[in-house]
Chains A and B, each alone.
Chain A
Amino acid sequence: MEQWSGYIGLILSGAGVTVKITLLSCALALVAAFVGGMGRISRHWPLRWLATAYIEFFRGTSIFVQLFWAYFVLPLLGIPLTPMQAGVLALGLNVGAYAAEVVRGAIKSVPREQYEACTALNLTRFQEMRHVILPQAFVLMLPTFGNNAIELLKGTAIVSLISLSDMTFQAQVVRVQTGSTAIPFLTILVIYFGLSVILSSSIRALERHLSRGLDVTKA
């Protein structure tokens, strides 16, 4: 029985790594989503073209392939990455590409009159985005962002395959050392589920907080 507490410690340290990768990748994905999404609706065709290429490339190939490419091929091109960096880079850019489409969709769904009102008030394009369009669009993005964040959390399991000691990796270690399969894997399944519940409920809370006072039509 004593040894189990050691194994639980191992799995919990893995959970820490999983949470860290999730948070770092979410941050990268958020930046990538806004850059990509706004790039796609830019007035300048080179920007539009670049953003479309980014989005289609990362949505078109598997996250798995991207991760292995980042980990095995980039070092040969002179960009050595630690497993952590490769994991965050691949996950962040992959989920960012999906979220970029959400950003684009939400900005497009802000009614025309809002843009016309901005023109009437003589706001610059930056002011228009910053003060009028984005605050309204952001609330529309949140529910889908929540789903994307959960996809990202689930995606972190694959970094165990590039020898990063996340929760799935540690469960494998426990499996090899104890010969017991059901207990470590059931434990991490429950922890993953708990994490995704926390993630989705905090996004929902943020959504309630931000939509206060906004007259948004719920999609």
Chain B
Amino acid sequence: MKWDWAFVWEIMPQLGEGVIVTIQATLMGTVLAMVAGLALAIGRRSPNRWLSRPLGFAAEFVRGTPLLVQLYFLFYILPDMGLVLSPLTAGVVGLGLHYATYTAEVYRAGIDNIPRGQWEAAKAVNLTMRQTWINIIIPQAIPPMIPALANYFIAMFKETPLLAAITVLELMNQARSIANYHYKYVEPMTLVGLFFLAVSIPSVILLRYLERRFAPQGRR
């Protein structure tokens, strides 16, 4: 068994195509998770129990079951219901909704951490609800959320190989098809691992910076 550099250069272009799909899936999943997570967080705060309870249960359910099974579910069941999604779309929807249940918790914690006094002060100076949210609550709630959100986006990036199971040709799937075709596993699998390290080590460093930068006041 030895490392074959010529083979490495030969398969690089094909792995590169996989990298692009991996990054696309991560970015689109991130956007969906941010938006759907916010909607979920707001829905769970609703005073209407018929909305907040089922949403809460659905979020718990999604968080307690494997993403892989959810992806299969989307990929195989939606076509039965007449909604044919491309594998990548189904994958992005699965990733985005799964992580939305996590980001919703981050939003919730961020909003709950605003001291009561801020709400009361806003009311005392006669701000409308809209002004309170836009000028008082959101500007204070967002910065502490940033490290936690970033953490989930890195986690999501590391989960994208699951999309290979529903035939998305992302990095892992490209590596697998190369490996099966040439019957050489060492180089493609190791390169995929190195790629993930190459992205996640800088992102961990960035995350530590974000944590320092946006640390809550007084604990800085």
Contacts and interface: CB of A to CB of B under 8 A. Distances in A.
Interface residues of A, number: 39
B1 A77 contact: yes
Contacts of A64: 158-159, 161-162, 164, 172
B64 A192 contact: yes
Contacts of A123: none
Instruction: Classify the secondary structure of B's interface with A.
Output: helix
B36 to A, nearest CB: 19
Interface in A174-219: 175, 181-182, 185-186, 188-189, 192-193, 196-197
B61 interface: yes
A54 to B, nearest CB: 13
Q: Which of A56, A157, A182: most chain B Cβ within 10 A?
A: A157
B189 A154 contact: no
Contacts of B10: none
A76 B76 contact: no
B117 to A, nearest CB: 23
A60 interface: yes
Q: Do most interface residues of chain A lie in helix, strand or loop, or is the interface mixed? A: helix
A60 B189 contact: no
A185 B72 contact: yes
A158 interface: yes
B105 to A, nearest CB: 11
A171 interface: yes
Interface centre among B1, B66, B200 (most CB of A within 10 A): B66
B61 A193 contact: yes
User: Which of A56, A63, A66, A185 counts the most chain B CB atoms within 10 A?
Assistant: A185
24 contacts: A57-B197, A59-B200, A62-B172, A64-B158, A64-B162, A65-B192, A69-B190, A76-B185, A77-B1, A153-B66, A157-B66, A158-B66, A161-B165, A168-B66, A168-B72, A181-B80, A185-B73, A189-B61, A189-B65, A189-B69, A192-B65, A192-B66, A193-B61, A193-B65
Interface of B: 1, 61, 64-70, 72-73, 76-77, 80, 158-162, 164-165, 172, 176, 179, 185-186, 189-190, 192-193, 196-197, 200-201, 204
Interface of A: 56-57, 59-66, 68-69, 72-73, 76-77, 150, 153-158, 160-161, 168, 171-172, 175, 181-182, 185-186, 188-189, 192-193, 196-197
